Amino acid sequence: MKPEKNKILKRIMSKLGKAGIWTVILTLIIFISQFIASLIQSDFGNVSIETVYFAARDEQTVVYDLFVPSSASEDNKAPLIIVIAGFQRSRETQSHIALEFARRGYVVINIDPYSQGDSSSSQGIEGGAIATIEGYGAFDIINYVYDNDEVYPYVDKDRIGVTGHSAGGNAAYQAAVHFGQESVNNGGVSKVHSVFISGYVLSINSSITFSKSNMGTDYALYDEGAFRNPINTSAPSGYSLSDMRWALESHLFVNSGLEKQGLPTIPDGTEVEIERIYGNPNLRNMRQVFNTPTIHAFQPYDPQAVTSMLSFFEIAMDFRNDTISPRDQVWVIKEIFTTLSLIASLSMLIPIATLLYRIPFFKSSLQKPNIDQRKRSKGSIINYIVVFMITATFAALTYLPSAELTLVLFPEASQSVNTWFFPQRMNNAVAVWAVLSGSFAMLVFMASRYISLVLKKRKENTPIILKEEFTRWGVSTGWMNLLKIVLLGILTVTIYFSLLMITYWIFHVDYRFLFIMAARPLNQKVLIQILMYFPLFFIFYFSNSIRVNAGQMRGKAHEYVKLFISGFTNIAGLAVILFLQYLAFVQTGTIAFTELPDGTTQWLYVNILFTLIPIMFLMPFFNRWFYKLTGNTVLGPMIICLIFVIMSLNNSVSYIPI
């Protein structure tokens, strides 16, 4: 029987082929990784998780994940924590916060803010007022839970907490103020027991006196947005605007609690003690300030910052888990496995396409790739360097001006106003830059190739045959083959996201590496916007595919050495911007690119580079792999452009009016 089993196995392996075997292996890696990540997220089955579509005011929809620990019941009610993601973030970016609260016994509502993730846009309020008047959807949820006894009967309605990072932190602050003002009609008790504000102090002003909630705040010691904070003239000279010991916002924050208890306030010239508890949590005037040594974008993923948040709510809400300390965190393990899922899913694209090419209809479109391994001449090396310097410089010089250009091209989205016309405020800038940079790089490449051909003609007296050149570029496929390539590309991307939707439905976990790169389930908004944004981004991806396969892979060096060089040349211009941003920050305490008088928030567009640079580095690798598989330079950019554009659209802010 054993030899017979071996024969059967060999037949199966033979039929699958290398691509089939890799597809099976990578699919198993995805399922196993997602399974382990879901075990961590659900505390090994002790926390139930479901997605809720909540009908809010003005026919709006807030989508949230509800985490309910098994310990919560009508007889053993648990505090509720509402978690609000920051600007350009979906609820999945805060799932690690939600799971840490839930495994400690809290009920958690982890929301997609309006215009982000799966939530609708705000129909009644637009712009910054979405936070102050609606709390990005949190206010309606708080009222719904607090005012209806039959809703979530396992929740202690007298202990509702709110937290969020960045813009989500602003919403948490606004919740304390809003429900504090409203408390006059609620017997003087705010519906919000405690709030924790992460990464946002701009809105802390005299309105804080309305708060009737315990309040904590954590501002990153190296927060890039600190240039907007007012200067404390009573502080020691040279202090950092992000140093919460001396920040005017810290003093106002702490003093608002002390005043409620009739205690002496702290003068601006006296430092606020970090982590000290001011006020009395039982009187709901507790104030606590933290100053985690990190930067803004990475603050939610800093274990110390998570510890500060957990420890604050333990004290503020008088709710402790005696077996799990605030420092005992497991979310990092979940992030490792979601990252592994992401890597496996992207690695599976080539095997999937290879299997599809076994279908006769698609197989007929295959061409033999032109692998040029001739040694580069000195002139060719000089040409490579010159083209690189020109295109990298252009990329660096046009990135931030592209953001300014969106104010003219897409005024509604730039002002956070709902629109059907390119509603992605932040991605609009990247799309404009992609068109400019991709087109320019292609023109420079074509000019350099033409000059090379002219010089070759003079030297060797050979004719210039453009048809041969286009064939060498992998673009001479014919219309019928082009149609087949497009269909195969769409089918590959469909399979990719279908597998994601299946695993998300089973495990409630997406593919992601922190906030930097993530594939989450598709929604109606994204499907509509693909038609707008794909053509713009494709210009850059297609340009890169031609440049990589028709020029950058020539030479005797190992293929991966050449690909790493191509990846570097692709990101160099943008990497310079990121380098200058933080070089200035280290040297002066203020970032190089802040805000412009026209309202362009340059520093937010620089922060996008944390996501954009990894994608651009990987681009040449995928374009080369697909070219070697197919012999054309179209399929690679089509597949990876679709996938990465969908990722970008699905993980940013969109003011589409649905």
Task: Provide the token pair at 512.
Answer: 């992601």
Q: Which residue has the tokens 């409630």?
A: 508
From 131-135, 251-255, 614-618, the region with the lowest mean pLDDT: 131-135
pLDDT digits (tens, 9 = 90+) for 216-248: 999 999 999 999 999 999 999 989 999 999 999
Residue 323 tokens read as: 């077996």
Q: Does the pLDDT value for residue 1 go beyond 60?
A: no
Strand partners, 216: 196, 288
How far, rounded to the nearest angstrom, does the alpha carbon of residue 381 sit from its chain's CA centroid? 37
What local confidence, expressed as pLDDT, does residue 466 receive?
A: 59
Q: Would you state the pLDDT for residue 127?
A: 60
Report whether pLDDT(433) > 70.
yes
CA dihedral defined by 353, 354, 359, 360, rounded to 10 degrees?
110
Average pLDDT over residues 422-449: 95
What are the residues whose beta carbons fall under 8 Å from the beta carbon of 295, sequence distance 6 or more? 220, 222, 223, 224
Q: pLDDT band at residue 451, thresholds of 50, 70 and 90? A: confident
> Tens of pLDDT along 100-151?
999 999 999 999 999 999 999 988 766 656 666 788 999 999 999 999 999 9
SS3 301: helix
Backbone angles phi, psi at 67, to 5 degrees: -105, 120
Close Cβ partners of 501 (under 8 Å, ≥ 6 residues apart): 521, 522
Q: Would the pLDDT of 277 be above 70?
A: yes
Q: Contact at 8 Å (CB) between 584 and 590? A: yes
Asked if residues 508 and 38 have their Cβ atoms less than 8 Å apart, the reply is: yes
> How confident is the model at residue 374, as a pLDDT?
74
DSSP for 271-293, please give it: PPPTT-EES-GGGT--EEEE--S
The burial of 293, by beta-carbon neighbours within 10 Å (0-12 exposed, 13-18 middle, 19 or more buried), is given as: exposed
Asked whether residue 185 carries a pLDDT value surpassing 80, the answer given is no
Task: Judge whether residue 304 has pLDDT over 80.
Answer: yes
Look at residue 108 in the predicted model and tell me its pLDDT. Answer: 99
Round the CA-based radius of gyration of the chain to a whole number and report it.
27
Average pLDDT over residues 308-315: 98
* Residues composing the chain: 658
Q: Tell whether the model's pLDDT for residue 4 goes beyond 80.
A: no
Q: Is the pLDDT of residue 458 over 90?
A: no
The phi and psi torsions of 298 (rounded to 5 degrees) equal: -95, 0
Look at residue 345 in the predicted model and tell me its pLDDT: 98
pLDDT at 306: 98
Q: At 572, phi and psi to the nearest 5? A: -55, -45
List Cα–Cα distances, 511 to 38, 412, 504, 515, in angstroms: 12, 32, 9, 11
For the chain, list the domains and their CATH numbers.
46-316 (3.40.50.1820), 336-378+475-650 (no CATH)
Other CB atoms within a 10 A radius of the CB of residue 245 amount to: 18
pLDDT of residue 169: 96
Q: Are 97 and 43 in contact (CB under 8 A)?
A: no
Mean pLDDT on 644-651 = 96
- Indicate if the alpha-carbon torsion angle 568, 570, 573, 574 is positive or negative: negative
The larger pLDDT score, comparing residue 345 to residue 559, is at 345
Residue 460 has pLDDT above 80, yes or no: no
Cα-Cα-Cα-Cα torsion 354, 356, 359, 365, nearest 10 degrees, comes to -70
Residue 217 is which amino acid? Answer: T
Tokens of 414: 């730039």
In the block, residue with structure tokens 């300030």: 289
Q: What is the predicted pLDDT for the residue at 87? A: 92
Is the whole model's pTM more than 0.75, yes or no? yes
Would you tell me the crossing angle of helices 524-547 and 609-630 to the nearest 10 degrees?
Answer: 60
What pLDDT is recorded for position 133? 77
Quote the percentage of the chain above a pLDDT of 90: 81
- 201, 228, 309 from 231: Cα distances, Å: 13, 9, 27
CB 54 within 8 A of CB 62: yes
Q: Is 305 strand, coil or helix?
A: helix
Task: Give yes or no for residue 250 having a pLDDT over 90.
Answer: yes
pLDDT at residue 13, rounded to an integer: 67
Residue 9: band (very low, low, confident or very high) from pLDDT cuts 50, 70, 90: low
Q: Helix, strand or coil for residue 376?
A: coil
**Nearest CA to 253 among 206, 317, 295, 198?**
206
The pLDDT of residue 470: 67
